[in-house]
């Protein structure tokens, strides 16, 4: 199945169609549907990745439950039988790839945590010796583990635009000192707990991003958490600093796109079938490793 066609829900308002998720207003709550769309470099690609939506949704549910001792989340239920009556005809389509969630007011920054030096953080370190204004020791190699995870927020981009890394001080200007400090503390605590668990399953979580919202004056966790779309997962057995790492996320697609010579602007190129199949299998493998269940 691909994305849920909007025409199935003509009686509901489409609140937002994101890069991967379609969000519908049910009145008292929101229905978040995770599609099989794939985005890379902030562009939605034309091909779908079979079962990707189910994997992302179920991984998020898995982590949301594990992190409830740290922070509340927006989930009401993932049981399609408990959804509003108008969704009952679509239960099969919605099963495992959707969740009914509370209406929260999203905060305007994305909360990125980096446990290892890679990606844009590595590029910044090579050029300037710091990441988002945070000075790092000299002599670090690509993919080195950092002495302490870094909280490096970014702005939220519209579809087709790029998120912009900002300093903590800039985050304070956007949302205020108290909220910024709370988000930093929560993000680091969630990352550390998730990374420790994943390591026990032979997986390194190199970096990740979280989104938070306000509900009745309280900060809660929303959107997704520690998925292959929002994180870099590396196999521990293959980890070696000083190079880029093999991964359980969409880095394989990113690497193919870079090698293809694509300019990282809309429209994205079509993917070869072998890239689609390998990416689908990679998403399923990470789910099974983390949860010890099959998709």
How does 250-265 read in b/e, with b if 16+ C-beta sit within 10 Å?
bbebeebbeeeebeee
Tokens 């680091």 belong to which residue?
A: 188
6-105 has which fold? Phosphorylase Kinase; domain 1 (3.30.200)
Using CA atoms, how far apart are residues 34 and 224, in angstroms rounded to an integer?
Answer: 10
* pLDDT more than 90, % of the chain: 77
Answer whether 179's CB lies under 8 Å from 219's CB: yes
Q: What is the pLDDT of residue 200?
A: 98
| pLDDT value for 2 | 42
Report the range of poorest mean pLDDT among 15-19, 60-64, 155-159, 215-219.
Answer: 155-159
Residue 47's pLDDT is: 95
107-257 architecture in CATH? 2-Layer Sandwich (3.30)
Token pair listed for 102: 């509370």
Check pLDDT > 80 for residue 3.
no
- pLDDT score, position 79: 97
Q: What is the rounded average pLDDT of the residues 100-118?
A: 96
Helices vs strands, H then E, count in the chain: 7, 16
Predicted pLDDT of residue 132: 87
* Per-residue confidence band for 275, with pLDDT thresholds at 50, 70 and 90: very high
pLDDT, one tens digit per residue, over 126-167 is: 999 999 889 999 999 999 999 999 999 998 766 445 678 899
Contact call for residues 163 and 152 (beta carbons, < 8 A): no
CA atoms of 238 and 216, how far apart (whole Å): 45
Mean pLDDT of 202-220: 97
Which sequence spans correspond to the domains of the chain? 6-105, 107-257
Which pTM does this prediction carry? 0.90
Residue 125 CA to residue 135 CA, distance in Å, equals: 8
Q: Say if residues 288 and 48 touch (Cβ distance below 8 Å).
A: no
- What pLDDT is stored for residue 63 in this prediction? 98
pLDDT at site 172:
95
Q: Do domains 6-105 and 107-257 have the same CATH topology?
A: no
Range 224-240 average pLDDT: 95
Q: Residue 264 has what pLDDT?
A: 92
Instruction: Tell which residue, 176, 40, 35, 46, has the closest CA to residue 108.
Output: 176
Would you tell me how many other CB atoms lie within 10 Å of the CB of residue 100?
22
**27: pLDDT strictly greater than 90:** no
Helix (H, G, I), strand (E, B) or coil at 101: strand
Calculate the CA 194 to chain-centre distance: 13
- Beta bridge mates, 43: 40
Contact present, 261 and 34 (Cβ < 8 Å): no
pLDDT for residue 283 is more than 50: yes
d(CA 209, CA 153): 9
């Amino acid at each position: 199945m691909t994305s849920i066609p909007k025409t199935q829900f003509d009686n509901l308002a489409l609140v937002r169609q994101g890069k991967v998720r379609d969000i519908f207003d049910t009145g008292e709550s929101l229905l978040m549907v995770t599609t099989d769309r794939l985005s890379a470099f902030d562009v939605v690609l034309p091909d779908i990745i079979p079962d990707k939506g189910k994997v992302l949704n179920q991984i998020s549910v898995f982590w949301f439950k594990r992190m409830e001792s740290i922070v509340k989340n927006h989930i009401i239920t993932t049981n399609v039988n408990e959804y509003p009556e108008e969704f009952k005809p679509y239960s099969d389509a919605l099963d495992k790839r959707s969740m009914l969630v509370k209406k929260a007011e999203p905060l305007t920054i994305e909360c990125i945590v980096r446990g290892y030096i890679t990606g844009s953080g590595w590029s910044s370190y090579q050029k300037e010796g710091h990441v988002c204004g945070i000075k790092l020791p000299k002599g670090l190699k690509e993919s080195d583990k950092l002495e302490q995870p870094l909280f490096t927020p970014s702005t939220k981009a519209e579809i087709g635009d790029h998120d912009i890394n900002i300093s903590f001080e800039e985050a304070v200007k956007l949302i205020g000192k108290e909220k910024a400090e709370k988000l930093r503390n929560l993000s680091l605590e969630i990352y550390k707990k998730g990374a420790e668990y994943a390591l026990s399953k032979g997986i390194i979580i190199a970096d990740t991003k979280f989104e938070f919202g306000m509900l009745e004056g309280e900060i809660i966790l929303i959107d997704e958490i520690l998925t292959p779309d929002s994180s870099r997962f590396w196999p521990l057995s293959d980890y070696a600093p000083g190079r880029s790492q093999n991964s359980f996320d969409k880095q394989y697609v990113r690497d193919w796109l870079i090698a293809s010579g694509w300019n990282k602007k809309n429209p994205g190129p079509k993917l070869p079938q072998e890239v689609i199949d390998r990416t689908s299998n990679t998403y399923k493998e990470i789910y099974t490793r983390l949860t010890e269940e099959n998709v």
